[in-house]
Amino acid sequence: MTEGSTTGMDEINKTRDILRDKFEKLEDKKQILKAVELRKLYDGIRNAPPEDRAAYGQAVNSLKLDVQTWVEQSQEADEEISPIDITAPWGVNSAADRRPQFLPAEQGSQHPLTTEINYICDIFQRMGFVVEESREIDDDFHMFESLNFPEDHPARDDYDTFMTDEGLIAPAHTSTMQNRVMQKYKANLDKGEPIAAVVPDRVFRNEDLDATHEHTFYQIEGVYVSKNVNVGNLIATLSTYMSEYYGQQLKTKLQPFYFPFTEPSFEFAIERPDVLRKDNSEEQKWLELGGCGMIHPNVMRSAGLDPEVYTGFAFGFGVERMVMMKHGIEDVRHFESANLKFLRQFS
């Protein structure tokens, strides 16, 4: 190799270091491809002695390819930036020192309802139920039609909730999920397994507010479908669950009621746990928690299940009510009050 070409290679190596340095500092990485240093090397090809021109040209070209690779890699890295969280109260791309500081986590705690819902789901999961989420906006089919409420039937009036101009509904109960759950887990039945799901979520009612009524509250729905399911299975399931939740063996009472989506339908009460009894009167003996029954054949059909082959039960109760009873909370409005004195009792 001639002396000239060695100098040329040195020059290329030096330029590579300079370019890398510049590249690191550039905001817009593509600009490196227009660097004067790179252009000078190109000019150098023309001026190189003819015997060195090919080797020199190749080396310059290989440097250019490297520089292009740096640019491409930096762009890929940019694309890996996580998607923007539009709910974040600051620009997610702003520098770390310009973001607001979060309160240290040890000064907060989980909301008592979240803790209780997790605990409730945990019990049901151990009993073989899967947990599904409901929706906070739904349609007439899931709110009424699929649940065997004929159009204009007076039973619809018991579920007075909020509706958008387009006819979308803020669901008044978690039973809206019965149809979806049965469809989603239909294949279980073909495998000889039951459909067993619970759905805890928010529901909405047009209510006058008082110590036991809120416009927004939580329910937990349960659906169980298999062959030869009967009311005995329903009672056993509910009393097992309640005994687990309240930590003592409790008696269960069903009394006849009417819901369009179950036949027969019941109101469901438990023997009031000792700690929650004010006195020994008959009145204080029972605690009403929700509704339940055997799933109506029309509800099964609306989900594509044959009621001649399968039977099932469903239940739904208010979560706040259950939690209030457990902890002796006298007013449902405490849950949404952001009253720290109240919340700290549970942390």
Q: Which of 5, 19, 171, 173 binds ligand DAH (CB under 6 A)?
A: 173
Nearer to ligand DAH, 19 or 234 (CB): 234
CA max distance for the chain = 112
Nearer to ligand DAH, 269 or 343 (CB): 269
Q: How far is the CB of 290 from ligand DAH (least distance, A)?
A: 6
CB atoms inside a 10 Å sphere around CB 269: 17
Q: Which of 175, 179, 252, 302 binds ligand DAH (CB under 6 A)?
A: 175
Nearer to ligand DAH, 200 or 290 (CB): 290
Contact 318, 290 (CB under 8 A): yes
**CA of 127: how far to CAs of 200, 224, 239, in Å?**
16, 12, 12
Contact 66, 16 (CB under 8 A): yes
Query: Which amino acid would we find at residue 104?
Result: P
Q: How far is the CB of 94 from ligand DAH (least distance, A)?
A: 45
Q: Does 316 bind ligand DAH (CB under 6 A)?
A: yes
Q: Exposed, middle or buried: residue 115 (CB in 10 Å: 0-12, 13-18, 19+)? A: middle
DSSP state of 253: E
| Cα(241)–Cα(200) distance, integer angstroms | 15
DSSP state of 316: E
Q: Which of 171, 194, 260, 290 binds ligand DAH (CB under 6 A)?
A: 290
DSSP string, 105-173: GGG----HHHHHHHHHHHHHHHTT-EE----SSB-HHHHTGGGT--TT-GGGGGG---B-TTS-B--SS
Stretch that binds ligand DAH, among 39-47, 138-146, 190-198, 312-320 (CB under 6 A): 312-320
Q: Which of 8, 171, 200, 293 binds ligand DAH (CB under 6 A)?
A: 293
Binders of ligand DAH among residues 84 to 103 (CB under 6 A) are none
Q: Does 200 bind ligand DAH (CB under 6 A)?
A: no
Q: Does 262 bind ligand DAH (CB under 6 A)?
A: yes
Nearer to ligand DAH, 56 or 144 (CB): 144
Nearer to ligand DAH, 259 or 335 (CB): 259
Q: How far is the CB of 98 from ligand DAH (least distance, A)?
A: 48
| Residues binding ligand DAH: number (CB under 6 A) | 13
- 318: nearest Cα among 212, 246, 180: 212
Q: How far is the CB of 314 from ligand DAH (least distance, A)?
A: 3
Stretch that binds ligand DAH, among 51-59, 246-254, 270-278, 314-322 (CB under 6 A): 314-322
Nearer to ligand DAH, 8 or 194 (CB): 194
Query: Which amino acid would we find at residue 76?
Result: E
Beta bridge partners of 255: 267
Q: How far is CA 192 from the centre of its chain?
A: 29
Q: Does 171 bind ligand DAH (CB under 6 A)?
A: no
Stretch that binds ligand DAH, among 32-40, 113-121, 232-240, 287-295 (CB under 6 A): 287-295
Nearer to ligand DAH, 110 or 230 (CB): 230
Q: How far is the CB of 217 from ligand DAH (least distance, A)?
A: 10
Q: How far is the CB of 115 from ligand DAH (least distance, A)?
A: 23
Q: Does 8 bind ligand DAH (CB under 6 A)?
A: no
Contact 5, 52 (CB under 8 A): yes
Stretch that binds ligand DAH, among 42-50, 54-62, 230-238, 258-266 (CB under 6 A): 258-266
Residue 164: which residues within 8 A CB-CB, separation 6 or more?
Answer: 137
φ and ψ of 65, to 5 deg: -60, -40
Q: Which residues bind ligand DAH (CB under 6 A)?
A: 173, 175, 221, 259, 262, 265, 290-293, 314-316
